[in-house]
Amino acid sequence: MPKLNRPPKYCKDGKYAAVYPHGKKFRIGLHGSPESQIAYARFIAESKANPAFHIHTGKADTTVREVAAAFLDHAERTLGPPNYAHYRIVIVDFLLKLYGDTAAKDFKVSL
């Protein structure tokens, strides 16, 4: 299972605080101010609540493995242990073995 991207760090950009999700700069207030600390905490909470945040959107195609990892991260936080275990078994034992390195845009299931 690939490790998901970690949330960006609280950084200093001149006199401002900034975060750099996927290489894009967002200033969140004056560095060290209570407002910037609150904005950073809100940013982290929102990024954890949104599994799509963890999918890298660089030049390379997103793989089925990355989408599955983001889904499992979300499922672990929102489902009970038995339900999460069922999803994890199916995804890890079957989906990733068959389609893990396939580009997500090329993944299709025929019924």
Give the Å distances, CA to CA, from 90 to 74, 85, 93. 16, 9, 6
Is pTM, for the whole model, over 0.95? Answer: no
- On whether residue 74 sits in a domain, the answer given is yes
Provide mean pLDDT across the span 76-93: 88
- On whether residue 69 sits in a domain, the answer given is yes
- On whether residue 19 sits in a domain, the answer given is yes
Angle in degrees, CA 100, 21, 42, rounded to 5: 110
For residues 42 and 68, state if they share a domain: no
For residues 44 and 15, state if they share a domain: yes
The pLDDT of residue 3 is 47
The pLDDT of residue 12 is 92
- On whether residue 6 sits in a domain, the answer given is no
Query: Across the strands, what pairs with 11?
Result: 18
> Are 47 and 7 within 8 A, CB to CB?
yes
DSSP collapsed to 3 states, 45-96: HHHHHCHHHHCCCCCCCCEHHHHHHHHHHHHHHHCCHHHHHHHHHHHHHHHH
Provide mean pLDDT across the span 83-87: 90
Structural domain containing residue 45: 11-49
The pLDDT of residue 110 is 66
Residue 65 has pLDDT above 70, yes or no: yes
For residues 76 and 100, state if they share a domain: yes
Residue 44 has pLDDT above 70, yes or no: yes
Provide mean pLDDT across the span 93-104: 86
- On whether residue 54 sits in a domain, the answer given is no
Which residues have C-beta within 8 Å of that of residue 109, sequence separation ≥ 6? Answer: none
Q: What is the pLDDT of residues 22-38, one digit of tens each?
A: 677 888 889 999 998 98
> Are 102 and 64 within 8 A, CB to CB?
yes
- On whether residue 2 sits in a domain, the answer given is no
- On whether residue 59 sits in a domain, the answer given is no
Domain count, the chain: 2
- On whether residue 98 sits in a domain, the answer given is yes
For residues 71 and 42, state if they share a domain: no
